[in-house]
Structure 1
Amino acid sequence: MNPSTAQARVVVDELVRGGVRDVVLCPGSRNAPLAFALQAADAAGRLRLHMRIDERTAGFLAIGLAIAGGNPVPVVMTSGTAVANLGPAVLEANYARVPLIVLSANRPYEMLGTGANQTVEQLGLFGSQVRATISLGLAEDEPSGNGCGPYGQQNSVWRSAVCRVLAAARGTRSGNAGPVHFDIPLREPLVPDPTADAGPEGRADDRPWTATQYATLDVPLDIDLTPDTVVISGHGAGLRPELAELPTVAEPTAPMHGPALHPLALPLLKPKQAIITGRPTLHRQVSKVLADPSVTVFALTTGPRWPDVSGNVVGTGTRAITTGAPSAEWLAHCRAVNANAQQVVRDALAKHPKPTGLHVAAVVMDALHEDDQLLLGASNPVRDAALVSHPRPGIKVLSNRGVAGIDGTVSTAVGAALAHGGRTVALIGDLTFLHDASGLLIGPGEPRPADLTIVVANDDGGGIFELLEQGDPQYAGVFERVFGTPHGMDLAALCAAYRIPHRQVDTEQLAAELAEHAHGLRVLEVATERSSLRELHAAVRAKIAP
């Protein structure tokens, strides 16, 4: 067995032993030894292999698989620009703490700087964005008869390195999961030998070579709940039973610790204390409260980092030791303003003459059932969902909130659906859909989602900018071209090119469609308009908090 084949087989075997169940592979020549080993493991039922021709798509497919399935997911690619295309996914995985493994094949390192084709300095490419950069080193012929079996001396080094990669991705020793760059230089021959020699063996009973236990990060924080307190539940928050009495502004991807509190109702309240769980990413009303120097702010996290944009946090921990209790008057006041805010939003939607993204989000949120999985696109969809509803038990809500880009959202939805046993619904905008249209490309014989509906709220452009400073009427002369960015694309034709079922529906038809399962992958497009968004949102805010 040649060195590259032996090394690749060991790497794949140890990944499986370490808990990897899905691997995304992009075709190439330099990574051929890994491709052969992965195909063999897939055929043996040891893992599930997903082929993709676009590395950027592959990276976000892996993110979807990882956030829905909970296991590290490697993306395997050849050398050169193929590796660089993982950049956006690595950024997202870093800030969202997703165990993504970039497993890049490389030329032998002595070829660097020689002008050899498709040879770049890959080590260090992702800089501070990865938890670790690990090189396996070049496999070499090893004399037989050393008493360790074939490649016995290198076998332990290879397997140990794989275990380090998995530990870094999971954050087992740091409490900080995230992406890892695993670079493997491979020398020709890059295909297996005609003879089928047995490869180097791992430990007995399919055990990992090196066992790593999760480190316990336990930092108690004393918090008195007597002052009027709100909880801000952001992305990546863990459920906090000790906060179950407290009014909670929860982003769609976050748990609702206590009674729901609508974000637009915050200006009506004067909380004396705020407790952050996870990382808030959405609401300006939340940011204003957290930046108020008269509000005492605590942060509870599940890892070593904590959010503190305004510098107001007075204490951090991983769990709260609470004393005192909120007053009945405070809780009643919060319930009242929340109920009013929810009613104002729904009344405004009922009276609005044209469908908007808010209308579509309301239909989607109302259609969800227990055990459904929802994936929300960045920009308006995740914000719309937060305004029309709140997190409900039994529904798993996902969104790429690490850096909140629109990159790879279709691919993330596909990956999440592949890792979920029930129905998955994705709500995204038209620009997000177009930006990752190649995520619809799933080759013949590849694993496909069994029940994924992608709902596209199509307002022919960037509706989010209607609500930002750029959408002020004084900039109307330049807005549409440089911020609105209309495209006029025929989404039905695009879906037809990828052989994906598509239907254009109104909001009533959308509700009927979502009452049924997808039986595969489908796209439901709802035409919406954005010219009145600014007016609609302003009217809702004014009605809730005059």
Structure 2
Amino acid sequence: MNPATALSTVLVDELVRCGVTDVVLAPGSRSAPLAIAAHADSRIRLHVRVDERSASFLAIGLARRSQRPVALVCTSGTAAANFHPAVIEAHESGVPLLVLTADRPPELRDTGASQTIDQVKLYGSSVRWFCEVGVPEERPGQVAYWRSLACRAYQRALGPADPGPVHLNLAFREPLIPDGDPSWCEPLDGGPAGPWVRFRLAPPSVGLHVPATRRGVLVVGDGAVNVRRYVAAAGMAGWPVLSEPTGGARYGDHAISAYHFLLGTPEFADAHVPDVVVTLGRPSLSRPLLSWLKRAGEHVVVTAGAARWPDPTRSATQVAEVAEIPVAPGDDTWLRSWRSAEAAAREAVDAVLDDSGTTEPRVARDLAEALPNNSLLFCGSSMPIRDLDQAMRPRRGVRLMANRGASGIDGLVSTAAGAALAHNGPSYALLGDLTFLHDQNGLIIGPREPRPDLCLVVVNNDGGGIFSLLPQAALPGPFERVFGTPHGVDLSYVAAATGTPHTLLSSIGDLPKALRGEGPRMVEVRTDREENARVHAALRESTQKAVRALL
């Protein structure tokens, strides 16, 4: 057996023993040993994509939804560089990813050899761990090295305290394909079932005790863990729960879905300065919320690990891996005030949206309402997630996800497809037109590849809608060309190029019917950017009027 085949066979086997079930491959020559080993292992679900960026974000979706490491494989050169945006997203949002880049051996580096770049620490500080594996050789001790290395890489990617991407750079000499000789200088197998190295976690430490008060608030952002436990504790303590859509806590009697508008009303924000705020995950969608956090008497940030904690407002007074929310004596005046304001603002939001026709926040609200239980909804990082945050009513039964680590728009079709492949149930995605066009290659799925049950709802306003809500909109001269960026693309032709069924929504009332179907499909919703800006202004004015009437 040649060394390249031996290393790849052992590495793939050990990763499977550790728990890897999915491998995403972008084809190439130097990565042939890894590709052949993954294809030959019946325990692996293999996904092949012709575009490295699409492949890498597909892996993000698979790993984010399954919450276990996914192996991502490519050849040498710029192929590995095209993984970089996804590695950054995995780093920022804590997604466990095993990046296996094939490389040329040292004697070919810096010689002008094709597809040869410096891949050592290619992703810089955006990985939890990097290892230059070394050129495999036929000598005793290599199998133990390769298997222990695979275990360490898997466990470092998994965390659990600080999950994220791990980069293994694998230099292969030719021959790159099996030579038909199964012999090796030592046994290649891993012995009894199970990983070569078993990792044990220490028991969790005792949590931080939060000051007892009735005037507390639980804020839940993207990437939060142990959410149900904290929501239950907040319920016992009489605290309102302010959850972003992907926080997983927008349900129950204490959920305040209109918090963006409540805290955007200065009189309400002034009257509701909390004694304590406990933050889970990474809240980042609402500027009024972030400004209000700075005013809390005590701000406790709960983080999965001491190495990283989210505190964009620099207002945290305590950071802990576990926090205990106590029940304080007193009545529920504080909670009743929040709930009354929530009801008034919610009524105002719904009244504006019901009269708005087919507008972007109404599409977001009605989509979240229409989805069946056990659905997955993947959200675009620009306007879709913000529209959901401002318009979505509390509900159970739907899991919401988004790439909110770096919050870029790249690779989101592929991420949604990956998440759908890992989800046991129907999947949907709400994306903007620029986001969709940026990753239209995500629709390229070979005839032999696993196909996601995914409905893409694409809001098409012919450009970058979020800029119409920003100060740049006051610059009529350059605005349309350099911010609005109209593209004029007929999305039905983009869908047709890959055989993806396409439906143009004619009326917002037809949305539930348009969502029906199986496999990859697209529902296009055409909207107007100027009208969208007017609806958002109306939402703000109507909710502020309703809330002020209570004060």
Per the normalisation by structure 1, the TM-score is 0.93
Give CA deviations for 1:467-506 in whole Å, capped at 9, x if unaligned: 112123xx12221111111111011111000111111013
Which residue does the alignment assign to 2:198? 211
Residue in structure 2 matching 1:469, options 468, 471, 481: 471
Aligned match of 2:54: 57
Partner of 1:357: 360
Q: Does 1:117 align with 2:117?
A: no
Aligned twin of 2:459: 457
- Pick from 215, 221, 224 the counterpart of residue 234 of structure 1: 221
Q: String of CA shifts for 1:68-111, please: whole Å, max 9, x gaps.
A: 11220111000000000011100100011000111000111232
**Residue 186 of structure 1: aligned partner:** 172
Name the amino acid aligned to 1:398: M
Over 3 Å counting, the alpha-carbon distance change for 1:385 and 1:47 in structure 2 is same
CA RMSD of superposed structures (Å): 1.7
Contact 2:380 2:409 survives alignment (8 Å): yes
Q: Tell me by how many angstroms 1:391 deviates.
A: 5.1
Q: Is 2:334 the counterpart of 1:339?
A: no
Alignment match of 2:435 (pick from 414, 432, 435): 432
Match of 2:384 among 381, 385, 399: 381
Letter in 1 for 2:488: G
Aligned-pair CA distance for 1:310: 2.4
SS at match of 2:446: coil
Q: Quick one: distance in 2 between partners of 1:332 and 1:380?
A: 31
Give distance in 2, aligned partners of 1:216 and 1:460.
53
Secondary structure class of the residue paired with 2:273? coil
Q: Match of 1:507, as an amino acid? A: I
Deviates more, 1:409-418 or 1:343-352: 343-352
| Alpha carbons 2:503, 2:514 under 8 Å: kept | no
The equivalences for 1:118-197 within 5 A come to 118-142=115-139, 152-172=140-160, 175-197=161-183
* Distance verdict in 2 for CA 1:520–1:541, change over 3 Å: same
Query: CA shift at 1:219, angstroms?
Result: 5.6
Distance 2:255 2:373 in 1: 18
Please name the residue that 2:423 is paired with.
420
Instruction: Assess if the C-alpha contact under 8 Å between 1:255 and 1:391 holds in 2.
Output: no
CA distance in 1, matches of 2:466, 2:149: 45
Amino acid at match of 1:363: D
Q: What residue identity is the alignment partner of 1:476? A: P
Consecutive unaligned residues in structure 2, runs of 5 or more: 546-551
Equivalent in the alignment of 2:255: 260
Task: Give, as a single letter, the amino acid of the residue that structure 2 aligns with 1:428.
Answer: L
Tell me the SS of whatever aligns to 2:116. coil
How far apart are 1:10 and its partner, in Å? 0.5
How far off its partner does 1:445 sit?
0.7
What is the CA-CA distance between 1:369 and the residue it aligns to? 2.2
Contact kept in structure 2, 1:100 and 1:179, CA below 8 Å: yes
Contact 2:132 2:170 in 1 (8 A): yes
Q: Between the two proteins, what is the percent identity of the paired residues?
A: 44
**Aligned counterparts of 2:13 and 2:208: Cα–Cα separation in 1:** 43
| Partners of 2:2 and 2:175 within 8 A in 1 | yes
**2:69 maps to 1:72:** yes
Partner of 1:149: none
Distance 1:87 1:492, change over 3 A: same
- The match for 1:446 among 446, 449, 458 is 449
* Separation (CA, whole Å) in 2 of partners of 1:187 and 1:131: 27
CA distance in 2, matches of 1:225, 1:434: 50
Structure 1 counterpart of 2:521: 522
Q: In the aligned structure 1, how far is the partner of 2:107 from the partner of 2:205?
A: 46
Contact preservation (8 Å) 1:24, 1:51: yes
Residues 325 and 32 of structure 1, relative CA distance in 2, 3 Å threshold: farther
**Does the Cα contact within 8 Å between 1:28 and 1:77 map onto a contact in 2?**
yes
Aligned equivalent of 2:537: 538
1: distance between equivalents of 2:469 and 2:223? 26
Give the 3 Å change call, closer, same or farther, for CA 214–407 of structure 1 in structure 2. farther
SS in 1 for 2:319: strand
Which string of whole-angstrom CA distances, capped at 9 and with x for unpartnered residues, describes residues 415-469 of structure 1? 01111111001111111110000000001111111x2111001111111111112
* Aligned mates of 2:499, 2:187 — CA distance in 1: 43
SS in 2 for 1:158: helix
Distance in 2, matches of 1:394 and 1:442, equals: 29
Secondary structure in 1 matching 2:510: helix
C-alpha contact (below 8 Å) 1:228/1:326 kept by paired residues: no
For the residues of structure 2 that align with 1:216 and 1:176, how far apart are their CA atoms?
A: 16
2:234 to 243, 246, 255: 243
Q: 1:215 offset after TM fit, Å?
A: 4.6
Q: Secondary structure at the match of 1:307?
A: coil
SS at match of 1:532: helix
2:512 paired residue number: 511
When the two structures are aligned, how many residues end up with a matched partner? 525
Q: Which AA in structure 2 matches 1:334?
A: W
CA–CA distance in structure 1, aligned partners of residues 384 and 282 of structure 2: 18
Retained in 2: the 8 A contact 1:202–1:208?
A: no
Which residue of 18, 42, 46 corresponds with 2:43?
Answer: 46
Tell me what 2:548 maps to.
Answer: none
Instruction: After superposition, give the CA deviation of every residue in 1:219-246 in whole Å (9 maximum; x if it has no partner).
Output: 6222124252222110111211322332
The one-letter amino acid of 2:5's match is T
The farther-off stretch of 129-138 and 390-399 is 390-399
Equivalent residues of 1:17, 1:207 under 8 A apart = yes
- For 1:260, the aligned partner's letter is A
Give, as a single letter, the amino acid of the residue that structure 2 aligns with 1:330: W
Task: Output the CA distance in 2 between the equivalents of 1:462 and 1:51.
Answer: 31
Counterpart of 1:297, as a letter, is H
Which shows bigger deviation, 361-370 or 411-420? Answer: 361-370
Higher alpha-carbon deviation: 233-242 or 482-491: 233-242
Match status 1:348 vs 2:336 = no
1:325 Cα deviation after fit: 5.1
Q: Deviations over 1:105-125 (max 9, x none)?
A: 011123222222221110111
User: Does the CA-based 8 Å contact 1:252-1:391 persist in structure 2?
Assistant: no
- TM-score, normalization by structure 2: 0.92
| Structure 1 portions without partners, runs of 5+ | 143-151
Q: What's the CA shift for 1:538?
A: 2.1
Does the C-alpha gap of structure 1 residues 429 and 248 become closer, same or farther in structure 2, counting only changes over 3 Å?
A: same
Equivalent-residue separation in structure 2 for 1:460 and 1:326 (angstroms) = 53
Once the two structures are overlaid, the 10-residue window that deviates more, 532-541 or 332-341, is 532-541
Instruction: Give me the whole-angstrom Cα distance separating, in 2, the residues matched to 1:10 and 1:534.
Output: 56
Partners of 1:402 and 1:498 lie apart in 2 by: 30
Look up the SS of the partner of 2:72 in the other structure.
strand
Partner of 2:300: 298
Tell me the distance in 1 between the aligned counterparts of 2:249 and 2:28: 45
Residues 365 and 393, structure 2, Cα contact 8 Å, conserved in 1: no
Distance 2:367 2:378 in 1: 11
SS at structure 2 position matched to 1:524: strand
Instruction: Determine the C-alpha separation between the residues in 2 that align with 1:394 and 1:186.
Output: 47
Q: Per-residue CA shift, 1:174-223, capped at 9, x if unaligned? A: x1000011111100101111334589433333211111123555362221
SS in 2 for 1:415: helix
Q: Is the 8 Å Cα contact of residues 61 and 413 (structure 1) preserved in structure 2?
A: yes
Query: Letter of the aligned partner of 2:472 in structure 1?
Result: Q
Partners of 2:50 and 2:149 lie apart in 1 by: 27
> How much has 1:161 moved relative to structure 2?
0.7
